[in-house]
A and B are shown apart, each in its own frame.
Chain A
Amino acid sequence: SQQGEEDPQALSIQEGENATMNCSYKTSINNLQWYRQNSGRGLVHLILIRSNEREKHSGRLRVTLDTSKKSSSLLITASRAADTASYFCATDRGGGNKLTFGTGTQLKVEL
């Protein structure tokens, strides 16, 4: 079963705008990871944030984590058409435990 849910389920924005996706989860975690999936392809790891971290940056990506609310957000700044993909959050309870994925957000960036 899915650990968490992302919202919105779908998001359509114009190139240059920022995109924000949210993820909620249910159990305690060791870390939370965000992945991107282009249509018909595998998942690409974007960023990992540990349970003792609150914010992390990587290029145009900014991830926040609020363990008290069991939620995370992914912000993509200055979006590009190439950012069009599905984005998934995944929680890891640590120690080689399985990644549990959310339901995903479909992002469409239009020219």
Chain B
Amino acid sequence: GAGVSQSPRYKVAKRGQDVALRCDPISGHVSLFWYQQALGQGPEFLTYFQNEAQLDKSGLPSDRFFAERPEGSVSTLKIQRTQQEDSAVYLCASSQDYGDLHGYTFGSGTRLTVV
């Protein structure tokens, strides 16, 4: 597609529920990032993929967070046993290279609210 697509756009989860957030990057983009953005803050890094390889997951806040990109294209961020502090906007970004030529293209994000 023309841009990075994320679904769902909004998600309300009950505390303790598992959620899965999807990211469709631009076709052919090598690099894919997930970020978490709390209200009024800048995005915080979660994890990074180069094709199907997860090269950096240092930003994942706990072992309840898991991300995959099995075929080097679509990526899924899964959060198990959601907690209220997980409420945030989850942003996905992709780049055709390492992002140091043209920057990154971000999706519109998934707003997760845990009640």
Contacts and interface: CB of A to CB of B under 8 A. Distances in A.
Q: How large is the interface on A (under 10, 10 to 19, 20 to 34, 35 or more residues)?
A: 20 to 34
A40 to B, nearest CB: 8
A42 B42 contact: no
A81 interface: no
A98 B103 contact: no
Contacts of B108: 41-42
A94 to B, nearest CB: 6
Q: How large is the interface on B (under 10, 10 to 19, 20 to 34, 35 or more residues)?
A: 20 to 34
Contacts of A31: 100
Interface centre among B31, B35, B100, B106 (most CB of A within 10 A): B100
Contacts of B93: 43, 99
Interface of A: 1-2, 30-31, 33, 35, 40-45, 48, 50, 88, 90, 92, 94-104
Interface of B: 4, 6, 31, 33, 35, 41-45, 48, 50, 55-56, 59, 91, 93, 98-109, 111
What 7 A-B pairs come out closest when comparing CB atoms?
A: A101-B42, A45-B103, A42-B106, A96-B98, A98-B45, A43-B106, A42-B108
